[in-house]
Structure 1
Amino acid sequence: MGQERRGWEGAVLRLMGARDFTFTVTDTEDLGPSFRRLRLTDGGMLAATGVHPTMWVRLWFPGTGRPHQRAYTLVDPDPAAGTLTLEFALHPGRASDWARAARPSDTIGATVQGTGFQRPDPAPSHVFAMADPASLPALNSLLDAVGGAPATIWFEGDPGAGPPPRTDPARHEVRAAPRHEAGAGLVARVREELPAPLGAAAHPYVWIACDTATTRALGGYVRRELGVPRRQVHALGYWRPS
């Protein structure tokens, strides 16, 4: 998809210093009925930008009318080889439709702008994470980045329905939380379970990456009611219910 078809979104990103690349699909793998993994060449992106934990790109999906862009976290980026993997949680929509149909040699435009990662300071004594299938690649990258810190993870959805979280049972506890009431169930469960372990952690770090409304509710609870300093909370909505 050429830049001329990206409309005002593409124009604003270019003014903000965004960089555009073209990815090419080299291999595909279905991970159950609701996940698909694509391996791609990066069009020179990683050599130009470098790599950091939870790094993401905007992909531009073809369609009529307004261009459709969504952000995806890089999985196993390899700057030397110029390759990366993307994992798609499949649901109705253009992005999932494109991923389902993707075949080797297919291409897609990618834009890098706004991504970044700040390591928690002070280093976390315990990580408390709330995630779902859409943010699973970013969760895995975060767990790699914080090294030996133990983690408690509330995972909304079925962890067995796609690629598993990259967790170490000796350090990481995963609490599966089926999604219901548009995320309200997860919010209620975290409110019930989070205070006690937070009180025992000298330097807690809370990472929240669910749908926008759930993330906002959880982030507000952690900051305002539990009093966790803003610098020790990362809250970013990864999707909006259609």
Structure 2
Amino acid sequence: MPKSELWRKSYAKGEYRMGQGRGWEGAVLRLLRAKDFVCTVTDAEDVTPDYRRLRFTDGGLLVATGVHPTMWVRLWFDNAGKPHQRAYTLVDPDPAAGTFSLEFALHEGCASDWARAAKPGDTIEATVQGTGFERPEPGPSHVFAVGDPASLPAINSLLDALGSAPATVWFEGGDDELPFRTDPARHELRKVPRKDSGAHLVEQVKADLPGLLQGTSDPYVWIACDTATTRALSAYVRRELGLPKQRVHALGYWRAT
């Protein structure tokens, strides 16, 4: 039997040993003492045709690792017989109940295929390593966030964590039915269509942000888009607008192909 078929069958039967057979990514995570858990789907909800929420029991994850804002886990999927990992932000983690949700912006790929088909009783392996959150000090007088459907759960978590701070959010793509947790009294949501592989979003933020920063004593800029867009905006904010690194968080959430 080919190795790929053996891996698939062992995984499906629950005989696959966690942390083994994951290629160089799995080897590195083992060296970094990553923690592995098996999570079980308890419910599934189609928020929109392209956005799906799954609820899980955590297999002891939350008690073992603790919880922080924007916390994410790596999920492991079968990609044509080979292991593939993608990171997802926890939604409403409840350590006492041992539950959390994950939200999937659906597109092509093995992770979205798994999420579309997932049903109660299905299991998925999750690895925790590399996630963290540093609360900006002093606290932000205004938050400036840039994201898209892939980073919406993290944006919601960030705004919850930073409490009463007002925020301006540039959001690329998606539709009006997505589960935004913005508060109109404190948060301004600026929706931007995705055009020119993210270049339109970059130009929009460049046009808006300098004026908004004027008179803002302690800004905090948070960027989580596709890798190229994130790099372009991070470089602009740091080099051209001169914000210090401790006031900027930037992380590419996906790679455009």
TM-score bracket relative to the smaller structure: over 0.9
Structure-2 separation of matches of 1:33 and 1:241: 21
Tell me the equivalent position of 1:177. Answer: 192
Structure-1 separation of matches of 2:49 and 2:107: 10
Tell me the equivalent position of 2:162. Answer: 146
Q: Which amino acid aligns with 1:201?
A: T
- Using the TM superposition, give the Cα deviation of residue 67 of structure 1 relative to its aligned residue in structure 2, in angstroms: 1.4
Tell me the equivalent position of 2:250. Answer: 235
Q: Which amino acid aligns with 2:253?
A: Y
Residue by residue, what CA displacement relative to the aligned partner does 1:120-164 show, whole Å, maximum 9, x if unpaired? Answer: 11110000000100000000000011110000000001341432x
Q: Which amino acid aligns with 2:247?
A: Q
Match among 203, 213, 217 for residue 202 of structure 1: 217
Give runs of ≥4 in structure 1 deviating > 3 Å: none
Tell me the equivalent position of 2:44. Answer: 28
Structure-1 separation of matches of 2:150 and 2:178: 11
Tell me the equivalent position of 2:128. Answer: 112
Q: How many matched pairs?
A: 241
Percent identical residues? 71
Structure-2 separation of matches of 1:231 and 1:138: 19
Structure-2 separation of matches of 1:104 and 1:144: 29
What SS does structure 2 have at the residue aligned with 1:210?
Answer: coil
TM, length-normalised to structure 1: 0.97
Q: Cα RMSD between the aligned structures? A: 0.9
- In our comparison, the structure showing a higher alpha carbon Rg is 2
What SS does structure 2 have at the residue aligned with 1:118?
Answer: coil
Tell me the equivalent position of 1:218. Answer: 233
Structure-2 separation of matches of 1:230 and 1:12: 27
Equivalent residues of 1:179, 1:185 under 8 A apart:
yes
Tell me the equivalent position of 2:119. Answer: 103
Q: Which amino acid aligns with 2:242?
A: G
Tell me the equivalent position of 2:7. Answer: none
Tell me the equivalent position of 1:41. Answer: 57
Equivalent residues of 1:34, 1:162 under 8 A apart:
no
Match among 87, 93, 105 for residue 109 of structure 2: 93
Tell me the equivalent position of 1:58. Answer: 74
- Using the TM superposition, give the Cα deviation of residue 86 of structure 1 relative to its aligned residue in structure 2, in angstroms: 0.3
Does 1:191 pair with 2:206? Answer: yes
Tell me the equivalent position of 2:34. Answer: 18
TM, length-normalised to structure 2: 0.92
Gaps of 5+ in 1: none
What SS does structure 2 have at the residue aligned with 1:52?
Answer: coil
